[in-house]
Structure 1
Amino acid sequence: MSIEVLPATGRWDDFASFMVPRKPGGGCVCMSYRDARLAMPERIDYMHRECQTEPGPGVLVYADAEVAGWCSVAPKSTYRRLMNSRTIPHLDEELDPWSIVCFVVRGGFRKRGLMHDLLDGAVEHARANGATLVEGYPVDTRGERVDVISGYVGTVELFEKHGFGRLRETNAHSGGGVRWIMRRELG
């Protein structure tokens, strides 16, 4: 299987093919951390515009040229909810690290290790756009399986395998597990 991770910029149709809800009331369009106050039509418009700009809202992974997943990665300051979070603190006022907040792997492509490819691609995308520091806020599963819904933030184990270190435990939880602020400096 050939794997390629590419920025979402200029790839709206691929992003929309699985991130935009097909029926009313479904989907998040990856706006939970950006601006969840918006109604669905405005969320879709917002992400459509983001996919037309640099550096864009994240990266897409392709398996054998078919879009298979998504990772939201952008400067932390672009995530309104994250900047105002009461459960995930903003530790360094003078820093604006890039934040990795969401992973989605389409059904039919799961259990192939694509989250590893997405995480590597997100880090490289951040680096290519001038980031010197990348953060994630994954759940600590303590070695237990986590359901797909709770695992959208990634796991501590995944981030550790890709050179991230634990910085601080948060008051946020996913699937009953504590979430951590994890960082990786980019040289």
Structure 2
Amino acid sequence: MSVLQVRALSADTWPAFAQLAEANNGVWGGCWCMGFHVKLGKGRTAEQNRADKQHLVREGRAHAALVFEGAQCVGWCQFGSPEELPEIKSRRRYDAGRTTLPDWRITCFFTGRGRRRGGVAGTALSGALAEIARRGGGVVEGYPEETDDRTVPGSYLHTGPMAAFEHHGFTRTRPISPHRWVVTRTVDPR
């Protein structure tokens, strides 16, 4: 495997992002990584999600650290402010334990077929944290899945595996579902 490199999601990198999403059914059946931007449900189509995501990227209101192997995007980690990413899974438990909002949220990961367990998610998380530092840093929240000793399908790990967050210095703050936690870390500005 060649060296993995990280580039920010932008209008320039959109074609590579879109190529990976399209090769994977729009990501989990057409989400296009919109599930934390808006409430997905009846009436929203994959085409609408794609168009809305592209619009947000063009406006600079959708952020991700894209992982490239050569010219090909092989995965990403989405991040943004709570205003940009207001939708949280397990909302009731999240709000019950919340005292303040973070400066940033890391909400989802995607790794292309055949690339899992190859360092893509960890590289994407490192890239997201570097971009957050470049944008001023602050308190960062993530919502990873604790796998413990159980085998977890990749679709359940869309918010990332706990081990990756702990490896990057995040601390468990509180559980919000049987296997999902709020984790936090402060990132210094660069």
TM-score if structure 2 supplies the norm length?
Answer: 0.84
Q: CA deviation at 1:102?
A: 0.8
CA contact (8 A) 2:132 2:187 kept: no
1:22-41 aligned within 5 A:
26-35=29-38, 36-37=40-41, 39-40=44-45, 41=47
Percent same amino acid among aligned pairs? 26
The alpha-carbon deviation at position 22 of structure 1 amounts to 5.4
For 1:2 and 1:53, how far apart are their aligned partners in 2? 30
- Count of residue pairs brought into register by the alignment: 180
What residue in structure 1 maps to residue 186 of structure 2? 185
Partner of 1:91 in structure 2? 98
Distance in 1 of aligned mates of 2:125 and 2:73 = 16
| Deviation for aligned residue 1:96 | 3.6
Match of residue 109 from structure 2: 103
What is the 5 A alignment of 1:28-177? 28-35=31-38, 36-37=40-41, 39-40=44-45, 41-54=47-60, 56-82=62-88, 85-89=91-95, 91-93=98-100, 95-170=101-176, 172-173=177-178
Q: How far 1:121 sits from its partner (Å)? A: 0.6
Under a length normalisation based on structure 1, what TM-score does the superposition of the two structures give? 0.85
Q: Which moved more, 1:46-55 or 1:83-92?
A: 83-92
Alpha-carbon distance in 2 for matches of 1:22, 1:140: 26
Q: 1:14 aligns to what?
A: 16
CA distance in 1, matches of 2:117, 2:162: 17
Cα distance change of structure 1 residues 78 and 162 upon mapping to structure 2, 3 Å threshold: same
Report the CA distance shift for 1:145/1:83 in structure 2 as closer, same or farther (over 3 A): closer
Point out the more displaced range, 101-110 or 14-23. Answer: 14-23
CA shift in 2, pair 1:77/1:19, >3 Å: same
